[in-house]
Amino acid sequence: MKIIKVNENNYINEIDSILNRSDDSFDEVDKIVADIIKQVRKDGDKALIDYTEKFDGIKLCSIKVTKEEIDEALNNVDKSFIQILERAKANITGFHEKQLENSWISGKGTDIILGQKVSPIGRVGVYVPGGTAAYPSTVLMDVLPAKVAGVKSIVMVTPPLKNGKVNPHILAAAAVCGVDEIYKVGGAQAVAALAYGTETIKPVNKIVGPGNIFVARAKKSVFGKVAIDMIAGPSEVLIVADSTANPKYVAADLLAQAEHDKLACSILVTTDEELAKKVDAEVERQLGYLKRTEISRASIDRFGTAFITDSLEMAFTVSNEIAPEHMEIMTENPLEKLYMVENAGAIFLGQYSPEPLGDYYAGPNHTLPTSSTAKYSSALGVDAFIKRSSIIYYGEKSLGECKDDIMEFANREGLDAHANSIGVRYEDQ
């Protein structure tokens, strides 16, 4: 890991490589994605089957997962894992139920009613990575908030394994969460199918879920035709620590993020240079026995950084500028430092709240804003699966009392039909 001392004069320059670590040019990927979307819109199911054979090496007869395949997966997955899924489901559901919004109506005067009607999105598509990067946790995190919101139709797409089947742990998670339809198709072609529909897959209103660069760019391309949750970049964790932090725990949490991707970013910001050196040594030690060493090593070598600051206030200034996806506070009395956090996707407090706790089990969502977008966006939640309709009722008397104001607004904007829409109601009075 790099160890860098920063202050209020140089920290922006020092964190620049972290803030701009994603590849800037997507021209070639976007061209491939555009061709795929065009082909799926033209040939429907045939294009999905052809692309699955081309990219995944599998010739499918049908893309829809059957009840028999789901039952087979449930029988093949350890019962203990099903029980873990159920316990995680309870935690995640309980957390998201607290996010529910209610419709409301408010009277104002004798003949004015204002309000808001909260309704679930009708049909949602969930993309779940498959193959070697299979994440049943993604199923829980993306499906359960939609269920809590009241979405009536939830569709899951995920790439098949080499045997033509879906990863059984993903199917088990889908069964536990109550997914309505499952299709064994992945990549940009799956996103296109969700957005525009095929003979088998009906189009959805919103697409959520992570994927590779082709999936991310496909989601960006279909945005407008459908809604999307976010365009996720490489994952990141930032740990603010003081001398009370355990270097073994800090190193383990940095490496937990580094194993995701070679572009993943693991950052320590601390007031204690000795801690940084101990963490660096511990990272090297733990890399010696972890399985995804090549990926983790590439991530740590390129982006693993320990920033040394003169004060905790400066440490939080650095953190707020980076606006990390995951933030851990490993300091004395971490709850007392919470007020200093302005930008973070999820905040983990104390020595025994590591980031994987949030990934799988605690309850808050693990679909989080990356690449500094925590400065203006939030974790996936129930609000991502609802829509709000305003309610307006004015009686004749109340409209009459404000008609001149409204007509003046309309005329100032040169919209005389707007003004006429008001005035015509009072011509005979």
Residues that are catalytic: 325-326
Nearest to 245 by CA among 237, 236, 253: 253
Residue 342 CB partners (closer than 8 Å, separation 6+): 320
CB 3 within 8 A of CB 306: yes
Residue 362: CB atoms within 10 A of its CB come to 16
Strands 386-394 and 112-120: antiparallel
Residue 29 CB partners (closer than 8 Å, separation 6+): 213, 214, 217
Q: Tokens 């400066």 label which residue?
A: 314
Nearest to 347 by CA among 275, 231, 240: 240
Element (H, E) at 286: helix 273-287
User: Residue 338 has what DSSP assignment?
Assistant: G
Q: What is d(CA 210, CA 212) in angstroms, rounded to the nearest whole number?
A: 7
CB 348 within 8 A of CB 330: no
Helix/strand/coil for 289? coil
